[in-house]
Amino acid sequence: MIETLALALGLNADDPDFWLPLVFMGLLFLVVLAGMVLDGFDIGVGCLSVFAPSHLKPRMMALLSPWRDANEFWLFLGMGLFMAAFPRAWGRLMGELYLPITLLAVGTMLRSVGFELRLRAPREQQSWWMRLFGIGALLTALSHGMLLAQVAVSYQNETGHLWFTLFTAACALAAYCLLGASWLIMREGGELRARAVFWGRRCVRWAAAGAVAVSVALALGNPGIFLKWSGGPSRATVAGLWCGMLAAFVCIEMCLQRMINTSYRNTALPFVLTLLVFIMTFGGLSYSFFPYLVLDEITIWDAAAATDSLELVLVGVVVALPVALAFNIRVYWRMFGLSVPPEPPAFGR
């Protein structure tokens, strides 16, 4: 496949003009996936905090505290990498996606402001800042769904596509709530875990409906993607991906249903399966669009910066990325397993 692409572009496979954009596309894929997965449970818990009882919200915020600073790293890294590596697609994408991008920026700002000021506010004002954090998380989740819908319908704005965008935004919100709920099931016990099980049960089918809707829109709206899915050796891979997603959704629902009917035991299975759904969904979208950044218009080679600029950026990435990965691995290795709140010391009188 690599040789075929190189020949189609009139380049050699070992030419930097060919492989450097591929390297940066792979890096961007990993960064966006890491941000969607690792920041996803943060967004999901923030969305659920809007609907949670007031006495549970402080504990939900406390569970997020070790990862808040690390979570925002992925968004800024992805945007910076995209602007540096593919500047010729930046203007086109921002022009088409200005509304969801604006909502994403506002949501990210509200999440950061609400979370940080909650830690510094007097006790009687903390509920307001927690509410602001939840609103920011809702806007962030909805903006992700709007981005996905706009990309799936090739940025069309007719009335039917508007309803599809709203539906996909609601399903994206449900998917992030499912991720946040499954993370709470893994991390917490008692009433919060019980409520998380019910939240997850309400969200799982909406998340599955969103995945189906986006896939149908892509297949019906673009003959090239439909042929890519249904023809050639990739047909078995696409079928396996669909079967894997279906099995994951069924297993999530069965696991949550069993927890409702029997017990609320600590388990990481719903969280791991939800992560797999996110990974398979994003991987399928990336495969469908490759090698385009703007479908049927701008390839990664059309959008890439000059080779000298890419080489300079690559040197910076090679130096900085291992340090960032080491920091994030140290931070995230404790995100699995049951969290036990600290007990206050018993001071003598």
Asked if residue 95 is part of any domain, the answer here is yes
Q: Is 302 exposed, middle or buried (0-12, 13-18, 19+ CB in 10 A)?
A: middle
Q: What is the pLDDT of residue 10?
A: 67
Percent of the chain with pLDDT over 70: 86
Strand (E) positions, the chain? 292-294, 298-299
pLDDT averaged over the chain?
A: 83
When pLDDT is averaged across residues 83-89 and rounded to a whole number, the result is 85
Asked if residue 342 is part of any domain, the answer here is no
Asked if residue 279 is part of any domain, the answer here is yes
When pLDDT is averaged across residues 279-298 and rounded to a whole number, the result is 85
Give the span between the Cα atoms of 63 and 301, in whole angstroms: 43
Cβ atoms within 10 A of the Cβ of 343, count?
6
Q: What is the pLDDT of residue 274?
A: 93
- What pTM value is reported for the model? 0.88
Q: Domain tally for the chain?
A: 1
Domain that includes residue 233, residue range? 8-328
Residue 262: pLDDT over 80 = no
pLDDT tens-digit map of 290-339: 888 887 788 888 888 888 888 888 888 888 777 777 777 766 666 565 66
Q: What is the pLDDT of residue 277?
A: 92
Asked if residue 346 is part of any domain, the answer here is no
Bridge partners of residue 206, in order along the sequence: none
Cβ atoms within 10 A of the Cβ of 52, count?
21
Asked if residue 333 is part of any domain, the answer here is no
Please, which pLDDT band fits residue 62 given cuts at 50, 70 and 90?
A: confident
Asked if residue 103 is part of any domain, the answer here is yes
Give the span between the Cα atoms of 47 and 141, in whole angstroms: 8
Q: What is the pLDDT of residue 66?
A: 62
When pLDDT is averaged across residues 252-280 and rounded to a whole number, the result is 83
Give the span between the Cα atoms of 209 and 256, in whole angstroms: 18
Asked if residue 248 is part of any domain, the answer here is yes
Asked if residue 268 is part of any domain, the answer here is yes
